């Protein structure tokens, strides 16, 4: 049964991928007709333009479908044979957590409080969920949080992560095999603090659902909170102001790359306010790619929102090849000028002075900090007849290497 399910999922992925590539071919044909009409100075065909936009939206929808199916097929099967279950040893804390979730069992709550005493969790703040539940929630959030997928992630046991950083001013030099070694200057070490902030969701369940033994309450909780957690943290990783939320990379001081100071994010300008240049618009993308040092380009990627991506899909090089290319297989990223593309809907649209495209090594650029532990507080009183589950986790984030990513600013300078 498990093999048949996987085979069926693989067939669905192939079918969705085929449809995705078919839509892209239709998009290219329509856009080629539009460009040919413009070259012959016949003007922009409104009907053809609307058709291209519809195909553009369809490409977004098809890619989302392919990604979802590929993700589903890649997940390990949770089912196990009866013989496997007989050999399992019961997890006392997991069982206690389920009793607490389903019925607010006082004895289970006492056990959870005892087990969580070393991390300062108490009945008023909720109880720490078992590691298995935390892993389910964390994996689910990662699946739909674009910045978390490409950034560095570090788990900590405190509320603040302090990262030491060298300013790179240590002296070095060449010396002969037997030559005297002059004393070198010691590097200056500073520290960047990444505080964690509380992120919460409060799903509601009926008591009937909780009483149903067939329902996996841990998976239900993960399904309910994953979208809220992912949406909120994704927005903060891009635009957060650092007050009760992570500091987003667009909230730092942003300066033109040639005059950028330490601790500032650099940008290059398109040369046109709120637009790509009228002539050779794709050249600014090459400027952006070659602004970071080579060490950061090796793992570089573009980050932008769907609206901006829709414009870039229409760009072609001097040989008539489209700069944006669909993924060669399911679960692989689309590519722009040979580099992978990540969609982050919280990135700004093309507008005057907007930093709408980012490029570079995001794993070295942005750090996500997770404090270990997901807390759950059961509230059967505030929304009768429903039971609320106040679920919290602590998340922080910020830029750790300001050289690793550059932004494209839609401005004259």
Residue 269 has a pLDDT of 97
Res. 246: pLDDT tops 90 = yes
Q: Which of 85-89, 210-214, 255-259 has the lowest mean pLDDT?
A: 85-89
Res. 51: pLDDT tops 90 = no
Q: Which of 181-185, 332-336, 345-349, 364-368 has the lowest mean pLDDT?
A: 181-185
Which residues, 6 or more positions from 295, have their beta carbon under 8 angstroms from its beta carbon? Answer: 361
The sign of the dihedral angle between the CA atoms of 84, 89, 93, 98 is: positive
Res. 78: pLDDT tops 80 = no
Q: How far is CA 87 from CA 90, 383, 407, in A?
A: 10, 41, 54
Residue 410 has a pLDDT of 98
Res. 305: pLDDT tops 80 = yes
CATH topology for the 129-169+184-305+344-413 domain: Major capsid protein gp5 fold (3.30.2400)
* Chain mean pLDDT for the chain: 85
Domain range list for the chain: 2-74, 129-169+184-305+344-413
- Condensed to tens digits (0 to 9), the pLDDT of residues 164-201 reads 877 665 567 788 877 777 776 666 778 899 999 999 99
Residue 87 has a pLDDT of 42
Q: Which of 235-244, 285-294, 375-384 has the lowest mean pLDDT?
A: 375-384
Residue 118 has a pLDDT of 42
Max mean pLDDT among 8-12, 95-99, 140-144, 380-384 falls in 380-384
The beta-strand segments (E) located in 247-337 are 254-256, 265-269, 301-304, 324-325, 335-336
- Condensed to tens digits (0 to 9), the pLDDT of residues 205-241 reads 998 999 988 888 888 998 899 889 999 999 999 999 9
Distance CA 247, CA 237 (A): 6
DSSP string, 169-184: --------SSS--PPP
H/E element holding 213?
none
H/E element holding 154?
strand 152-156
Max mean pLDDT among 98-107, 162-171, 246-255, 321-330 falls in 246-255
Res. 401: pLDDT tops 70 = yes
Res. 327: pLDDT tops 80 = yes
SS3 249: coil
Res. 119: pLDDT tops 50 = no
Q: Which of 182-186, 255-259, 265-269 has the lowest mean pLDDT?
A: 182-186
Residue 186 has a pLDDT of 66
Model confidence, pTM:
0.82
């Amino acid at each position: 049964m498990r093999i048949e399910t996987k085979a069926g999922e693989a067939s669905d992925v192939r079918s969705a991928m085929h449809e995705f590539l078919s839509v892209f071919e239709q998009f290219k044909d329509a856009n080629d007709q539009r460009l040919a009409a413009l070259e012959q100075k016949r003007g922009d065909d409104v009907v053809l333009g609307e058709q291209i936009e519809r195909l553009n939206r369809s490409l977004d929808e098809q890619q989302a479908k392919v990604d979802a199916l590929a993700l589903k097929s890649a997940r390990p099967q949770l089912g196990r044979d009866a013989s496997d279950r007989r050999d399992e040893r019961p997890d006392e804390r997991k069982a206690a957590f389920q009793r607490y979730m389903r019925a607010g069992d006082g004895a289970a709550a006492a056990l959870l409080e005892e087990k969580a005493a070393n991390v300062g969790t108490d009945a008023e703040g909720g109880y720490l969920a078992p590691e298995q539940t935390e892993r389910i929630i964390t994996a689910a959030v990662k699946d739909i949080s674009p910045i978390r997928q490409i950034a560095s992630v570090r788990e900590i046991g405190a509320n603040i992560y302090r990262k030491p950083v060298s300013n790179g001013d240590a002296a070095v030099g060449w010396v002969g095999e037997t030559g005297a070694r002059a004393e070198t200057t010691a590097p200056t070490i500073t520290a960047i603090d990444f505080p964690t902030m509380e992120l919460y969701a409060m799903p509601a369940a009926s008591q009937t659902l909780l009483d149903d033994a067939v329902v996996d309450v841990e998976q239900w909780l993960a399904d309910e909170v994953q979208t809220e957690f992912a949406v909120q943290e994704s927005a903060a990783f891009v635009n957060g102001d650092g007050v009760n939320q992570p500091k987003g990379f667009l909230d730092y001081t942003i300066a033109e790359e040639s005059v950028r100071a330490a601790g500032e994010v650099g940008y290059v300008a398109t040369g046109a306010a709120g637009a790509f240049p009228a002539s050779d618009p794709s050249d600014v993308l090459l400027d952006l790619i070659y602004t970071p040092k080579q060490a950061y380009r090796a793992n570089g990627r573009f980050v932008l929102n769907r609206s901006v991506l829709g414009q870039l899909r229409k760009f072609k090089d001097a040989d008539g090849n489209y700069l944006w290319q669909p993924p060669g297989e399911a679960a692989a990223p689309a590519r722009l000028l040979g580099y992978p593309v990540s969609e982050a809907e919280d990135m700004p649209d093309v507008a005057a002075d907007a930093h709408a495209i980012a490029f570079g090594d995001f794993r070295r650029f942005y750090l996500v900090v997770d404090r270990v532990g997901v807390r759950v507080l059961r509230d059967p009183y505030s929304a009768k007849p429903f039971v609320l589950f106040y679920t919290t986790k602590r998340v922080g984030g910020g830029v750790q290497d300001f050289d690793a990513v550059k932004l494209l600013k839609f401005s004259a300078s």
